[in-house]
Structure 1
């Protein structure tokens, strides 16, 4: 394994040369993923690896893809989407316009899930979905709305369990082993690169979803991200986190009330 000193140097040099700050990432996860890349690429000494990271932009982008966790699927955790459909979105429907932020959107499956839900509730036309991620490569994938057809069977089942109201195949066209989702959905999305730890708030949102991202941050960086979400939410707006994430014991918890179902909080102050 790489030594602590080498990991510290790597984090410092990445920040210096590329402006990415990985210092708040889970140390064990970061070390494991870096070492996996180091081994796969056949490096025999840390100096050569560090030189490659500094000078080769394409290799660095590849490294970011390997380090950042991009595990997602459409209608992931169907019970969560049931609560959105029955308890959260009907509240948002009373607004003249709906702004939603998917922070850490990865390849976009959950953004498309939300767009489908909004369409079925006749709200897509007055909604805008902002989708951001640290990794520019996954954003480019998300923008296209094209996913492997082999995943669609699982997505269809998730959609059914999440109380989907239509035939899931109505939302995409299949060709050459790929599923291309409707431009009607994509037209209501804005994709952008954004770093939760260094970039500021860029709008006021009615709903922010950041599911299964904070678990890869340490406590200090979780605090930064949660305070950013607080700043970015309108009063009575909603914050949705992953199943293993919470705002309990954070500096913002007193401003929010948690729903009984799922990891969803309503901003009260």
Structure 2
């Protein structure tokens, strides 16, 4: 009986590999080196919603129906973000990193995997308060076109504003959070002047290359969905994109330990995963 279950599991892995290979060849999205456990959950979520029975039946549907593919793609892109997420990270950035950026004539910051833009908007507010926004260009990229459009629109979820205000205050905000947005008929929009120096564009960390040199790169809670091979590949891209003595900030469950480039960085703040490129 256990051998039968084991063979079923192996068969499902084969089906999953074929599905992801098909998606890559048919649509150009590469999920082949994403964490199996994460992608497996999302595939089965879609299988149940579509009323199907196995991965192969989903593959057949996705290969012949682009609408079905985009429904599955929506399951792969589950945005988890908020304004001033992990407020202490923004507080430490304000206290320890901002003073080192002041001497630069021009600052380039990359939010890789920006989702719907809440953390990008948070950075713009922080830099505005520190008097650095006018000499900063923030690049915000993601693979998800719908999320990018929300980021471009500067839309903020009204039902989260109470939590966002608490986050802002905990992150060392120096003004009233309501100074930074307009509210109209239940829609909250970031004030336009805060978006003026932000470039929002599609970029795929899996398949696209470096496009500039940055003084700060934030890639938070993105690589937790990758397997080791892909994680190392993306770390290489980030390293190549980061200026010497530039700062890399990753998510709370992420680390540079056990990556081939770990010795190229020094740890500036371990609890908040802030590293500096030293070679």
Q: Same fold (TM over 0.5)?
A: yes
- Check conservation: 1:104, 1:134, Cα contact below 8 A: yes
**Aligned residues between the structures:** 269
CA pair 47-265 structure 1, distance change in 2 beyond 3 A:
closer
CA shift for structure 1 position 22: 0.7
Cα RMSD (Å)? 1.5
Structure 2 equivalent of residue 62 of structure 1: 71
Deviation at 1:43, TM superposition (A): 2.3
Q: Does 1:266 align with 2:276?
A: yes
Residue 124 of structure 2 is aligned to residue 115 of structure 1 = yes
- Whole-Å separation in 2 of the counterparts to 1:105 and 1:56: 28
- 1:182 equivalent in structure 2: 191
Instruction: Report the structure number with the largest CA radius of gyration.
Output: 2
Offset of residue 213 of structure 1? 0.8
Structure 2: 5+ residue runs without aligned partners? 1-8
Moved more, 39-48 or 96-105: 39-48
SS of equivalent to 2:120: helix
Matched ranges for 1:163-174 at <5 A: 163-174=172-183
Equivalent in 137, 159, 165 of residue 150 of structure 1: 159
Distance 1:189 1:61 in 2: 28
Native 8 Å contact 2:39 2:76 kept in 1? yes
> What do residues 112-133 of structure 1 show as CA deviations (whole Å, max 9, x unaligned)?
0000000001111111111111
Equivalent position SS for 1:237 = strand
Q: Which residue of 1 aligns with 2:5?
A: none
The equivalent residue for 1:219 is 228
How far apart, in 2, do the equivalents of 1:151 and 1:244 lie?
Answer: 23
Mapped partners of 2:166, 2:20: distance in 1: 41
Q: Tell me whether 1:98 sits opposite 2:104 in the alignment.
A: no
Question: What are the within-5 Å matches in structure 2 for residues 64-83 of structure 1?
Answer: 64-83=73-92
